[in-house]
Amino acid sequence: MNIEKTTQGAETRTEKLWYFGFGSNLKTSIMRSRGIEVLDVKTVRVPGYILTFDVFGLPYSEPAMASISRYAVDTNGDAAPDPPTVHGVAYLLSRADLLRLIGTEGGGVAYREIIVKGIPLNTGNDDMKPISMSTLIARLLLALVECN
């Protein structure tokens, strides 16, 4: 479900949604400093995605910002080993807080929203069901320049 395309009815104002945080969003204190109320937190991994740094940042202070990128999983066993799966934090948020988070992260400008499936880690119980989460990925990739 794309948060931007969902209609705002009475039932959706109280809806709670999961968001996948990585990079600086691993810290719950960062979320709270943006005025976002975190309702629940779980550590998760997202199979099929890797951590990347392909969003332009600020030269010298923060040259690139984190994103995630999909990779094809080798099912034949004839390719190089799969790269490490991205790990992060699943935050349960209200719809209003998710919209606020997307705005503070540059959603629609530097990032676009997607839905990923996360596998909870270290739950201490049998609740290992995948979690469907919104997250943001790079809208534009850096240009690759070959130097000779």
Cα–Cα distance measured from residue 80 to residue 93, given in angstroms and rounded to the nearest whole number: 38
| Annotated binding-site residue? 35 | no
Find out whether 22 is annotated in a ligand binding site.
Answer: yes
Report residue 103: phi and psi, to 5°: -65, -40
pLDDT of residue 37: 95
Mean pLDDT of the chain, nearest integer: 80
95: Cβ–Cβ under 8 A, 6 or more apart, which residues?
Answer: 3, 6, 12, 13, 14, 15, 16, 17
Listed range (63-77, 103-117, 128-142) with the worst mean pLDDT: 63-77
Q: Kindly report the number of other CB atoms within 10 A of residue 83's CB atom.
A: 11
pLDDT tens figures, 84-109: 889 999 999 999 999 999 888 877 77
Which residue has better confidence, 107 or 50? 50
**Per-residue tokens: 116:** 């990923």
Q: Which of 11, 37, 105, 113 is catalytic?
A: 105
5 φ/ψ angles, rounded to the nearest 5 degrees: -100, -5
Q: Binding site annotation covers 53? A: no
In order of their start, the domains of the chain are 12-138 (3.10.490.10)
CA distance between the termini of the chain: 45
Q: Which amino acid is at 2?
A: N
Going by C-alpha positions, the residue among 69, 148, 72, 76 that lies closest to residue 114 is: 69
- Catalytic site includes residue 105: yes
